[in-house]
Amino acid sequence: MSPLHVVEPGEDVLKTRMIEASARIESTLNALLPLKGGPEARLYQAMRYATMNGGKRLRPFLVLSSAALFGVRESCALRVAAAVECVHCYSLVHDDLPAMDDDDVRRGKPSTHRAYDEATAILVGDGLLTLAFETLANPETHEDPLIRANLSLALAKAAGARGMVGGQMIDMLAPQALQGDGDIGAITRLQRLKTGELFAFACESGAILGRGDNTRRQALHAFAHDMGLAFQIADDLLDLEGREEEVGKALRKDVRAGKATFVSILGIERARDQAQLLVDQAVQHLEIFDERADNLRMVARFVVDRRA
């Protein structure tokens, strides 16, 4: 590792970069989600409600940071970033539905089915998921149709039954499958699918856009998986120790449901150590990149220190 990599810029630098990136991501989302009149106006309003509502914009930031490693034009990367955020927001809207996690609050506001109604929330999710693929397939995202196809394939794998949707299914069955002292391997797999694959897409998408070689793509994949697990452990810790006003959603649901989590199995201290270990491991995967990967290095540190 060169000395350049040892000293990463501090937390404030990351905060500023994330805030600046959020503004550009939100203006891209704004353009992709215009308000419409007519009988379907309610759907467009609700799609905007579900997306233009805060959130850390972590996955889009990962897309922009990975694209910067390959010198990708930011206008292209922003569209991929917006597509990932659409998939993420759809997953939150559907996850909050009474048939799933039944949450009334998301990002500090009434969840979409509470602000509108259940049928509208289902359609919002459907609309956002479809919009993500429409965005990737649009020539404005990349002039090369093969790259657009590769992006669509990778996002489909990450979001579908082999990724997020599959992970959600296992999670829904968790009270039977992972009750009490469920094993760490099963929880790791669940979380890799449910949240890790979308992180992996976000981190690899820059390499797809910029025609990065396999070594670099795999390094980004490995980084995302370790960082994703650290993120999940931090999420479990926040569920136990966080403040609802800061986190913006109902907490301590896992404990009440008797659900096995990294923290219930490892205990708080070991879980914290494990998260730190995963962050260090994640950062090591980036050794092949120069200081342009500092955003990714900083994000990995941020995910375990965050309070929301």
CB of 222 to ligand GRG, least distance (A): 20
| Start-end of H helices in the chain | 3-6, 11-32, 41-51, 58-69, 74-96, 112-115, 118-137, 145-159, 164-172, 174-177, 184-191, 197-209, 214-241, 244-247, 253-257, 262-266, 268-284, 294-305
Q: Interface with ligand GRG by CB under 6 A: which range of 55-63, 139-147, 252-260, 282-290? A: 55-63
Q: Which residue in 65, 91, 120, 295 binds ligand GRG (CB under 6 A)?
A: 91
Stretch that binds ligand GRG, among 6-14, 163-171, 216-224, 261-269 (CB under 6 A): 163-171
Query: Does 55 sit near ligand GRG (CB under 6 A)?
Result: yes
What string marks each residue from 173 to 212 as x (binds ligand GRG by CB under 6 A) or -?
A: ---------------------xx-----------------
Kindly state whether residue 259 participates in binding ligand GRG, applying the rule CB under 6 A. no
By the 10 Å C-beta count (0-12 exposed, 13-18 middle, 19+ buried), 115 is classed as middle
Length of the chain measured in residues: 308
Residues 8-47 that bind ligand GRG (CB under 6 A): none
Of 228, 246, 207, nearest to 304 by C-alpha is: 228
Among 92, 124, 193, 278, binds ligand GRG (CB under 6 A): 92
Q: Is 169 exposed, middle or buried (0-12, 13-18, 19+ CB in 10 A)?
A: middle
Residue among 24, 79, 94, 259 that touches ligand GRG (CB under 6 A):
94
Asked if 95 is part of the footprint of ligand GRG (rule: CB under 6 A), the reply reads yes
CB 147 within 8 A of CB 209: yes
Q: Applying CB under 6 A, which part among 14-22, 94-102, 215-223, 280-288 lies near ligand GRG?
A: 94-102
Give the chain's radius of gyration (CA, Å): 19
User: Out of 107, 114, 157, 189, which residue is the one contacting ligand GRG (CB under 6 A)?
Assistant: 107
Q: How far is the CB of 238 from ligand GRG (least distance, A)?
A: 9
Distance between CA 294 and CA 228 in Å, rounded?
A: 17
List residues binding ligand GRG (CB under 6 A): 55-56, 58, 88, 91-92, 94-95, 100, 107, 164-165, 168, 194-195, 235
